[in-house]
Structure 1
Amino acid sequence: MEIKKIVILFFFFSFLGISQTKVGGKVVDEYNEPIPFANVIFKNSKEGVITDENGDFYFESTESYTHVIVSFMGFEKNEFLLKPGLNKNLKIVLKEGTQLKEVVIYSGKTSKKDNPALVILRKIWERKRKNGLRMFDQYQYDKYEKVEFDMNTIDSTFMNNKIFKGMEFVFNNMDTSKITGKSFLPIFINEGLSEVYGDNVAKREKEILKATKNSGFGDGDGVNTFIKDLYAEYDIYDNYLKFFDKNFVSPLSRTGINVYNYVLSDSMYIDNKWCYNIVYYPRRKNELTFKGDFWVNDSTFAIKKINLEASKSANINWVKEIYIEQEFDVLNDSVFLLKRDYMMSDFSFSKKEESKGVYGKRTSIFRNHKFNIPKEDKFYREEVNFYDNSVFNRPDDFWNENRFERLNNNELGIYKMLDTLQTVPKFKRIYNLASILGSGYIQIGNFDYGPIFSTFGFNDVEGQRIRVGGRTYYGPNDKWRIQGYTAYGFKDDKVKYGISGRWMVNPKNRLILSLGNRRDVEQIGVSLTTSNDVLGRSFASSALFAGGVNNQLTNISLTNIGAEIEFVKNFTFQTNLSYRTLKSASNDFSLDYYEDLTQTKVKSEVKQSEINFQLEYTPNRKTVGYGVERMEVDNNYARLFLSYSQGLKGVLDSDFDYQKLQFYYRQPVLVGGFGRLFTTFETGKIFGTVPLGLMGIVPGNQSYFIIENTYNLLDYYDFVADEYASLHFEHHFNGRLFSRIPLLRKLNLREIIGVKGVYGRVSDNNIMINASGLNYIAPDDLYWEYHAGVGNIFKVLRIDFAWRGNYLDMPNARKFGVKASFGFYF
């Protein structure tokens, strides 16, 4: 009964928690200036925190403490008396030191040779590849992982909002964060149990999922897979730690002394091991760095405990906090193994302290380690499409017996709360609206209408265009799916349509059969590497904002029968048999060609049958789901694509016999702390004689927006080629340069530079049959252009400035251009 009273008081008196001691406030000097990165610890304990860039801090403990000790280099320590329970909005003043004996004070950079913290840091570098799991040829262990999402900064105004009328019971599961002191409401939880096996000699690792349990949203592990990608695996000993597609400098990095200050703060026994405590904090604002401290053993120089908190000024969007804690166990007196890994992120539209957001938390616990038990190579081969239904349907008794730690009352309440929410009509409406905005489809029974964002379009041939469509949808892991659309152009007064079906015959190796037909107006030649996607439509075909003439469109009728199979994980083979007809959609544009080299007869329609074989390899690609359609989690993986096409003259009145070979390679590379480099290489050749409709067109970009793998300053059909090679480089510095400029630092802008080039030729025979009136120009002098851009303008806008490198004398040549794009990026 007493506990119930406490809970009631918690909700009505500023959300006071059940922790014994909570402390928050600001540390300032005698002139009321904030002191960043000061140490704040409970007296006679090793529980503490470091103030942020503004001198603010908050932390709590389940123990009862009466004092905190606050210290910083060059200032006298201040011992502050606490009252029981919550101590909020404290103002702690530090006085400048007058007598400092036996202490070396470092101001500014702490990279002096006699700094004892750096001596220890260098010992860590020497031993970092000899600690933990790296000490053994093989390893295996059990892993428990808990992922949770919470709405935070919940106040009375938020709780009394009309939107929650009828759903007030959700606030019965509120709690306060031990890190930030903010109230939060759990809204999602996922648990997972797995076995992990690794081989350091063969550099292989495999994780076998044994059980997973969702809060009730979604099917299978789709939501969990997406969330896990946000919390990528990391090793604190690595030089750079990747979070949200950004490279943060690890405090244990060999380059850390360039961006961090280090101070030897304390030493004591932890679990019978003498350890040094080193405090670190960033030298400059706006860089991708952390603040925090770590405890390191004095003999093995292995980390015993570490915490990392991202700088609030770090150049990352929509994430207000990143906090990490790791604890290590000692095995056989010298082996330090990761025991517990906790990470929390605060997602928010604003970095202001009072702004509301969503916590994302992940807790991983590791135990039952075993070593030097080798496995055969085939054991580590990843299954193409693993799905064991029992993994997703473990009973509650199983979880009670096997989870590594008990759920607290709030976490246990999430399951019941979300199950109850499913029965509330108002919540269903809100959830459905969010689903529509996220997926672009409106679900009506087992049919999805959409995508709604493609409903309206415009081009010079169709004028205003309206489109309606949809797909079958029984669940995210459907083994078959039918989708289609119909469209109407008000200017050309024509109806268009497309329909496609896909059926996964064998889920184990993802053998998929497909069939489809499309009749539509299309801007062909906007991609060097071609596709037989029946429902695909380029952005250029309906560009609402474009420069120059946009009437070089083609009426296309395409029928395709295909099959694909995934031999091994992320390695796919596909074959297609297609028949297409191409005819100009405008009187101002022609696809005419001579039927033979004598140039005696002209034909305006292309009829072509083709068989195509494709190989695609996407190492390290992550996907969601196991049905006929899967969603990619991100695009941060390499892609290699090889295609061979054979024209079948005479089949279904086909006109041409040719062979087409194409290769595409895209590789993103993290360049240390200097951002990410994207490299794209394409090459291809057509063997045989073909008209304009089947030629390789160097992709131009007449829109005002940035379109990947196109040339910013080329118009459609500026260059044609039947053999070509294209190379694009684009580097994203992620604000590394601008963060060094004081006037630009606070804007968190990001720098982009790039260069693009293409070489190509046209055979004499293809020139001879050209009757379109278009003068074939091949980039045989290597056309190139370059661009520089600024991203993260208002967090959503990128602007690129492009310059043409050569072919400046071409008619209507654009020598300079400005392109833009919008998007939500971390």
Structure 2
Amino acid sequence: MSKQSYLLLIIFFSFSINYAQTKVGGILNDDTGQTVPFANVVFANSSEGATTNESGEFYLQSDGNYDTLVISFVGYKTKKIPLKASVNLNMEITLEQEASSLDEVVIYRGKTSKKNNPAIDILKKVWANRRSNGVNAFKQYSYKEYEKLEFDINTVDSTLIESRIFNGMEFIFDYTDTNRVTGKTYLPMFINESVNQVYGDNDLNEEKEVLLGNKNSGFNQNRNLIDFVKDIYDDYDIYKNYIKFFDKSFVSPVSTTGIDTYNYVLSDSAYIDNKWCYNIVYYPRRENELTFKGDFWVNDTTWAVKNINLETTKDVNINWIKQVYIEQDFEVLSDSVFLITKDFFMADFGINKKKTSQGIYAKRTLLYDEYKFNNEKPASFYSQPVYNPQSQAYNRSDEFWSENRLEELNKDEKGIYVMLDSLTKTKAFNRLYDIATIAQSGYVEFDGWDYGPVYSTFGFNDVEGVRTRFGGRTYFGQNDPWRIEAYGAYGFKDNKFKYGISGKVLLDPKSRLILTGGNRRDVEQLGTSLTNSTDVLGRSLASSSLLNVGDNDKLSSINLSVFAIELEPLKNFKVRVGANYRVLKPASPEFSLDYYVDEERTIIDSEINQTEISTVFTWTPGRKVSGYGVERSVVNDEDFPTLFLNYSLGIKDVFKSDFEYKKLQFFYNQPLLIGGIGRSNVSLEAGKTFGAVPLGLLSVVPGNQTYFALYNTFPTLDFYEFVTDSYSAIHVEHNFNGRLFSRIPLLRELNLRELIGFRAVYGDISDESRMIDASGLSLVAPNSKPFYEYSVGIGNILKVMRFDVHFRGNYFDNPDARSMAFTIDFGFHF
């Protein structure tokens, strides 16, 4: 379940009350009529304030009662505005230039100089001292962390309130109020609180987080959603070159790379908590890049950041996000080290970026306390357990939360629990929840079982014609210790019934000892991947694609039975030992899997019976999962490498098995986030079969005769164009995330993304395997030189579509060789 899918689920039914006493908002101009960006706006006699954005707009709210607003900026007279009411919105304020400062101060509006700029001089001192700040200044550290996550509907207006979708839930609108950052009216829908004890060792480069308590409203049983919400925000460090969230890398304004990305202005200086600090305003040098705007305060002795605000610009190239706002506060320890005490993150999700459109606020507040240092623990302390349900942490008492919250919930946050408890009991809400669940998961929920996936109900291929499929699975909860899945399908052209059934049971949660077994009889397009899978119910899109290039009649009938045992002795390291029995034969008269049975090559058989035993090792370092049942959901599905090693042994004469062979396969996949130039993915595959085997057991180089993107295939190859029994392949793809198009004025507003790719494969077939082949196909292997392709593409078309053009690099002499291919892909991506 992807993060983007969860967001679509949340938008279906997303619902803090905030009894703020003072609210102000408006626009700031100077006496020439120009707007004044990045000016300071604060309530008088308080530390509560904000800065105007690049258009001179501001919004500020507080739980306190204030009667005066103070506005200041270098080069202008400070202005005090009396507040006549508790709510003062749509204000228009004019600042006067300060005559005495006109000859001394330059007000930067465009690009600032990198030379003789006092702001950059200060920034260089920040760089020189960054390693001696925070927990990095100590060998070991520990602290308590309180985290609060909230989701709210924003831009609540009469149209939304009167919408049919909320019939029966009208009472929720009694809980609306105004966001302190954007000034939009919002309505709460979810809150999650957690308390963690964090331990770290800088010498070992290890960190461990122990969950002490977790509490949430609305989704107590949905661990997937809770873990997704927590994973939205990757840990980030403002001192590093890039701040990563939503699969994107934003240039940090405090980093060494910031000098080429941002303009800096020394705006002010003042005492903050008895420490003299400088205020630096920053804003991007170019449009449409992954950058921020805002300001930060720097201490003049430790050169550490005391406070920082980061806000994405309105033209940033990131889907479904109107704005991201980050605020961090630091405190001084022993007059030398600054430690983070508060981290606030808010993302404004929306279908589009119009100011008046409705969307979702996702807010995270992190508070830190009880810092302790240089308390060394053994390296074994930081090892990660395989089984760690921590069920007691989700059932803490009210007394626990009173003692462990680092700040009390305000009235609006307490109200979320009350409102959502009532909401989840309404029929209207549960109807919406059911619809959203079907759209996201593809399953229709019933009591104890699910029907689906609904997206597989219809298909088509040259052998079966129109195909219908009906299936389901047992489902009592996310942490079910066993699960059974089954389906039945019927082809209206071949008039044959197909089916599949599989089951798995978790015998030992601590070692993740699982038994699996099943049987499938179906029509399948073999050779769509080099690395074999023994998924009983798996089926490639190539087997039932509605649109194909040329004839797709090289399908096989497969009868596959599988039994396996697997365990996870170390976190994210899985061992699987299995046995499978396959019966393969052609599914159409135009296709042959024939092979010679005797050495004289006089007797031919068209059916393959094969028994195989395999041992598979899979390592996925850094993978995060949700749940502890027989099936777990991956939370960070695109953020970790995968290493796969398989050793298979074909056994002859067991259950009438035909062939004896050994097969070794290796697969490695590595996603790479490369700073400010985008995201890459590299995968390597290699394998070899020892022994003579027929076409049905060879390693087919995966072609793609559909118009849809299929993972790790070669789109300009037809099915069975290259066949091998030893191979090595590489697939490289890079997404520039719009970095190039953002420099082109006519393309900039479309937020398109540039993609390039390269694929190559080298392989051969042994003479022994060639000798027993009687299929009539021309068995060609890319053995004289590696076959390669390259591609260019445009992504983010209408935010959901990707189009690629693929070019064949060589082997143009192959029969019916295609020099070019086109593929499309659909999906929700940030």
Instruction: Confirm or deny a common fold (TM above 0.5).
Output: yes
Q: What are the superposed Cα offsets for residues 361-387 of structure 1, whole Å, 9 maximum, x if unpaired?
A: 111111111111111111111111201
Q: How far apart, CA to CA, are the structure 1 residues paired with 2:198 and 2:376?
A: 13
Matched, 1:91 2:92: yes
Q: Is the 8 A contact 1:71 1:78 kept in 2?
A: no
Q: What secondary structure, in the 3-state scheme, does the structure 1 residue paired with 2:256 have?
A: coil
Matched ranges for 1:613-628 at <5 A:
613-628=615-630
Shift of 1:36: 4.7
Shift of 1:218: 4.4
Shift of 1:417: 2.1
Shift of 1:531: 0.7
Partner of 1:821: 825
Among residues 480, 493, 510, which one is paired with 2:482 in the alignment?
480
Partner of 2:812: 808
Matched, 1:797 2:801: yes
Q: What secondary structure, in the 3-state scheme, does the structure 1 residue paired with 2:407 have?
A: coil
Matched ranges for 1:167-182 at <5 A:
167-182=169-184
Among residues 187, 190, 196, which one is paired with 1:188 in the alignment?
190
Q: Is the 8 A contact 1:643 1:661 kept in 2?
A: yes
Matched ranges for 1:25-104 at <5 A:
25-28=26-29, 36-42=37-43, 47-61=48-62, 62-69=64-71, 71=73, 82-93=83-94, 100-104=102-106
Shift of 1:484: 0.6
Shift of 1:401: 2.5
Partner of 2:651: 648
Taking a change above 3 Å as real, the CA distance of residues 113 and 511 of structure 1, as seen in their structure-2 partners, is same
Moved more, 444-453 or 623-632: 623-632
Partner of 2:3: none
Partner of 2:689: 686
Shift of 1:78: 6.3
Shift of 1:632: 1.3
Q: How far apart, CA to CA, are the structure 2 residues paired with 1:27 and 1:770?
A: 81
Matched ranges for 1:332-343 at <5 A:
332-343=334-345
Partner of 1:765: 768
Q: Counterpart amino acid of 1:715?
A: D
Partner of 2:13: none
Q: What are the superposed Cα offsets for residues 563-612 of structure 1, whole Å, 9 maximum, x if unpaired?
A: 11111111100011000000000111111111134211111000000000
Q: How far apart, CA to CA, are the structure 2 residues paired with 1:453 and 1:690?
A: 36
Q: Counterpart amino acid of 1:380?
A: Y
Matched ranges for 1:215-254 at <5 A:
215-219=217-221, 221-254=223-256
* Count of residue correspondences: 811
Among residues 417, 420, 434, which one is paired with 1:418 in the alignment?
420
Q: How far apart, CA to CA, are the structure 1 residues paired with 2:214 and 2:109?
A: 50
Shift of 1:84: 2.7
Q: Is the 8 A contact 2:70 2:78 kept in 1?
A: no
Q: Is the 8 A contact 1:449 1:470 kept in 2?
A: yes
Taking a change above 3 Å as real, the CA distance of residues 457 and 391 of structure 1, as seen in their structure-2 partners, is same
Q: How far apart, CA to CA, are the structure 1 residues paired with 2:113 and 2:47?
A: 26
Shift of 1:430: 1.5
Partner of 1:581: 583
Q: How far apart, CA to CA, are the structure 1 residues paired with 2:135 and 2:569?
A: 32
Among residues 603, 608, 622, which one is paired with 1:601 in the alignment?
603
Partner of 1:12: none
Matched, 1:312 2:318: no
Partner of 1:783: 787
Shift of 1:811: 1.8
Q: How far apart, CA to CA, are the structure 2 residues paired with 1:43 and 1:305?
A: 19
Q: What secondary structure, in the 3-state scheme, does the structure 2 residue paired with 1:693 have?
A: helix
Q: How far apart, CA to CA, are the structure 1 residues paired with 2:756 and 2:40?
A: 41
Q: What secondary structure, in the 3-state scheme, does the structure 1 residue paired with 2:563 have?
A: strand
Q: Is the 8 A contact 2:347 2:361 kept in 1?
A: yes
Q: What are the superposed Cα offsets for residues 271-300 of structure 1, whole Å, 9 maximum, x if unpaired?
A: 111111111111111111111111111111
Q: What secondary structure, in the 3-state scheme, does the structure 2 residue paired with 1:766 have?
A: helix
Q: Counterpart amino acid of 1:790?
A: I
Partner of 1:19: 20
Q: Is the 8 A contact 2:693 2:769 kept in 1?
A: yes
Matched ranges for 1:621-770 at <5 A:
621-633=623-635, 634-770=637-773
Q: Is the 8 A contact 1:50 1:291 kept in 2?
A: no
Q: How far apart, CA to CA, are the structure 1 residues paired with 2:731 and 2:655?
A: 39
Q: How far apart, CA to CA, are the structure 1 residues paired with 2:781 and 2:666?
A: 19
Q: Counterpart amino acid of 1:52?
A: N
Taking a change above 3 Å as real, the CA distance of residues 783 and 273 of structure 1, as seen in their structure-2 partners, is same
Moved more, 123-132 or 163-172: 163-172
Q: Is the 8 A contact 1:662 1:682 kept in 2?
A: yes
Among residues 109, 116, 121, which one is paired with 1:119 in the alignment?
121
Percent identical pairs in the alignment equals 56
Unaligned 5+ residue runs, structure 1?
A: 1-14
**Which structure carries more relative contact order (alpha carbon 8 Å, separation 6+)?**
2
Partner of 1:489: 491
Taking a change above 3 Å as real, the CA distance of residues 97 and 708 of structure 1, as seen in their structure-2 partners, is farther
Q: What secondary structure, in the 3-state scheme, does the structure 2 residue paired with 1:217 have?
A: coil
Q: Is the 8 A contact 1:16 1:86 kept in 2?
A: no
Shift of 1:462: 0.3
**Regions of 4+ moved over 6 Å:** 75-78, 95-98
Q: What are the superposed Cα offsets for residues 459-507 of structure 1, whole Å, 9 maximum, x if unpaired?
A: 0000000000000000011011001100000000000000000101000
Shift of 1:513: 0.5
Among residues 285, 288, 296, which one is paired with 2:298 in the alignment?
296
Shift of 1:88: 1.6
Q: What secondary structure, in the 3-state scheme, does the structure 1 residue paired with 2:623 have?
A: coil
Shift of 1:81: 5.2
Shift of 1:159: 1.6
Q: Counterpart amino acid of 2:742?
A: S
Q: What are the superposed Cα offsets for residues 399-418 of structure 1, whole Å, 9 maximum, x if unpaired?
A: 12322211122221222222
- TM-score of the two chains, using structure 1 as the length reference: 0.95
Q: How far apart, CA to CA, are the structure 2 residues paired with 1:788 and 1:642?
A: 31
Partner of 1:435: 437
Q: How far apart, CA to CA, are the structure 1 residues paired with 2:262 and 2:44?
A: 27
Q: Is the 8 A contact 1:52 1:312 kept in 2?
A: no
Q: How far apart, CA to CA, are the structure 1 residues paired with 2:446 and 2:20?
A: 47
Q: Counterpart amino acid of 1:788?
A: V
Taking a change above 3 Å as real, the CA distance of residues 101 and 45 of structure 1, as seen in their structure-2 partners, is farther
Moved more, 310-319 or 41-50: 41-50
Taking a change above 3 Å as real, the CA distance of residues 70 and 598 of structure 1, as seen in their structure-2 partners, is farther
Shift of 1:57: 2.5
Shift of 1:646: 0.2
Q: Counterpart amino acid of 1:705?
A: F
Q: Counterpart amino acid of 2:51?
A: I
Q: What secondary structure, in the 3-state scheme, does the structure 1 residue paired with 2:588 have?
A: coil
Q: Is the 8 A contact 1:141 1:197 kept in 2?
A: yes
Q: CA RMSD in A?
A: 1.9
Matched, 1:403 2:386: no
Partner of 1:162: 164
Shift of 1:818: 1.9
Q: Is the 8 A contact 1:676 1:731 kept in 2?
A: yes
Q: Is the 8 A contact 1:111 1:257 kept in 2?
A: no
Q: Is the 8 A contact 2:389 2:627 kept in 1?
A: no
Q: What secondary structure, in the 3-state scheme, does the structure 1 residue paired with 2:675 have?
A: coil
Q: Counterpart amino acid of 1:752?
A: L
Moved more, 407-416 or 713-722: 407-416
Q: Is the 8 A contact 2:18 2:412 kept in 1?
A: no
Shift of 1:112: 2.8
Q: Is the 8 A contact 1:212 1:391 kept in 2?
A: yes
Partner of 2:552: 550
Q: How far apart, CA to CA, are the structure 2 residues paired with 1:28 and 1:682?
A: 61
Shift of 1:800: 0.9
